[in-house]
Amino acid sequence: MSNDEPKERADRAMFNDQHEARAERAMSNDGHDDGVDRRGFLKCMAWAGTGAFFMVEGGILKSYSLSKLPGLPTASAGTLSFVQISDSHMGFNKAANPDVVGTLKTAVDRINALPTAPEFMLHTGDISHLSKPEEFDTLDQILKSARAKDVFFVPGEHDVLEDEGAQYLERYGKGTKGSGWHSFDKKGVHFIGLVNVLNLKAGGLGTLGAEQLAWLKDDIRHLKHSTPVVVFAHIPLWSVYPDWGWGTEDAAQALALLKPFGSVTVLNGHIHQTMQKIEGNVTFHTASSTAFPQPAPGAADSPGPMKVPADRLRSVLGITDVTYLRGKHALGIIDSSLEENS
Amino acid sequence: MKRHHMGTAAGIVLFVALCAGLTAAEQSKPPATEVKIDNFSFSPAELRVPVGATITWTNRDDIPHTVVSTDKVFKSKVLDTDEKYSFTFGTAGTYTYFCSIHPKMTGKVIVQ
């Protein structure tokens, strides 16, 4: 590594490895013959960056190549469509992305170009980089131009710096409990926003805490077990990579409460890359950042912002579009990158 | 420095002497010691310093971090890239600390 060129090649290699690892993970969850072999899947991944489509039926993940997307069901009566965006880091200005405002605007353009207008958005935290009022203001301003007007938030650790989340609660916590946890219903789907970025203990991971777990238990007490549940929180509720703090200490307790439910989808951010896992009735999925990518677990010395060649940046940022078909017990999750041709 | 059962005059003399002693100690205080925050870790993660030493933490990451004592003895504000925080350790003991934003990041200062 004596000059810049091999360095760039190394970056790209890491980049490709990451995608391959993702594809392999996805394929290993796929026990079905859906007409897409591993090679075809990788080819699709290579073409589309983070673009991939996952349909969940009866707790089983099926993968489709993006070329088949036009043939998939579009909006119909009883369909719920929403978008997840995450980790916008307004105020971040380092080399990994000197224009986080620009990429967030592109994300909004992507949302506005979706074939089915989403009914609302979820933002899974790290709205700001340093919890500064002007950073929150910037995001609020940019999201105003999105077709979906309602946005439901949960905080990331970057949103609750210095004040234990007081400012976050004042801005985004209307009608929420505790440090900002809340639930709501849309077309028969029960949504639960959890907060796992406060009161973190030395050496530990994300934390929900006893008070929030008690609230969760009470919140779902009267729900029919056939009700589809979508849980969203900033830090993954599964052990993605504890060495980097990518997990939540007491997530198992929350998931135990959700065990009787037939369909549970858990949406997280924090790790700035897409990843998914199926465990019994639960589908775990993490969204891309709209600001900067982070390395695959263990692929670098630290989880710090990953620099990719400028012309590749938008291929590793993105949005997540989720569709629920009533009565079908199916949640379709599509990750789209911010790249032009995705 | 506490001698509760001493005569008042003797006490004052001792107090003055101690004050003089402290001033002298300040003039020859131990050199400042640096801890770098790099790649989501404190380096060195464990540090031995004499009583009175000042440690300065510098964040060299592109991500903000904090330096927070587990026992709430000291707590920095949020340190953005290249920002620093200093604390002077006046009492012997073992001080564990962590980054309250990324709690996997932990460190220790042993003051002797």
CATH number at residue A211: 3.60.21.10
Distances in whole angstroms, Cα of residue B36 to Cα of each of A90, A290, B10, B81 = 26, 29, 47, 11
Q: CA of B46, closest CA in chain A: separation in Å?
A: 15
Residue burial A264-295, b: 16+ Cβ < 10 Å; e: rest: bbbbbbbbbbbbbbbeebbbbbbbbbbbbbbb
With CA atoms as reference, the chain A residue closest to B100 would be: A200
- Amino acid B10 reads A
pLDDT per residue as tens digits for the range B77-111: 999 999 999 999 999 999 999 999 999 999 999 99
Residues B7, B61 within the same domain:
no
pLDDT at B29: 60
**A342 belongs to a structural domain:** no
A212 assigned to some structural domain? yes
pLDDT of the residue at A283: 92
Same domain, B20 and B43: no
- How do strand A120-123 and strand B46-49 relate by DSSP bridges? unpaired
Residues B15 and B61 in one domain: no
In this structure, the answer to whether residues B94 and B69 fall within a common structural domain is yes
Q: How far is A157 from chain B (nearest CA, A)?
A: 6
Q: What is the CATH number of the domain that holds B87?
A: 2.60.40.420
Q: Which residue segment(s) compose the domain that B42 sits in?
A: 33-111
Distance of alpha carbon A131 from alpha carbon A137, whole angstroms = 11
Give pLDDT, residue A328.
59
Please check whether residues B55 and B3 belong to one and the same domain: no
Indicate the residue type of A53: F
Q: Do both B25 and B43 map to the same domain? A: no
B104/A245 Cβ within 8 A: yes
Enumerate residue ranges in chain A where pLDDT < 70. 1-78, 326-330, 341-342
Residue with the bigger pLDDT between A278 and B32: it is A278
Q: How many domains does chain B have?
A: 2
CA-to-CA distance for A173 and A166, rounded, in angstroms? Answer: 9
- Within this chain, do residues B43 and B94 fall inside the same structural domain, yes or no? yes
Asked casually if ipTM beats, i.e. exceeds, 0.85, the reply is no
Inter-residue contact A56 to A280 (CB < 8 Å)? no
pLDDT attached to residue A330 = 59
Residue A307, in any domain of the structure: yes
* Strand order across the A229-233 sheet: A182-186, A189-193, A229-233, A264-268, A282-286, A275-279
Q: Which residues of A touch B100 (CB under 8 A)?
A: 200
Alpha carbon distance B36, A250 (integer Å)? 31
Strands B41-43 and B93-98: unpaired
pLDDT score recorded for residue A20: 37
Q: How many domains does chain A have?
A: 1
- pLDDT of amino acid A135: 98
Q: B104–A304: do the CB atoms touch at under 8 Å?
A: no
Residues B25 and B77 in one domain: no
Tokens 């003089």 belong to residue: B20
pLDDT confidence band for B30 (50 / 70 / 90): low
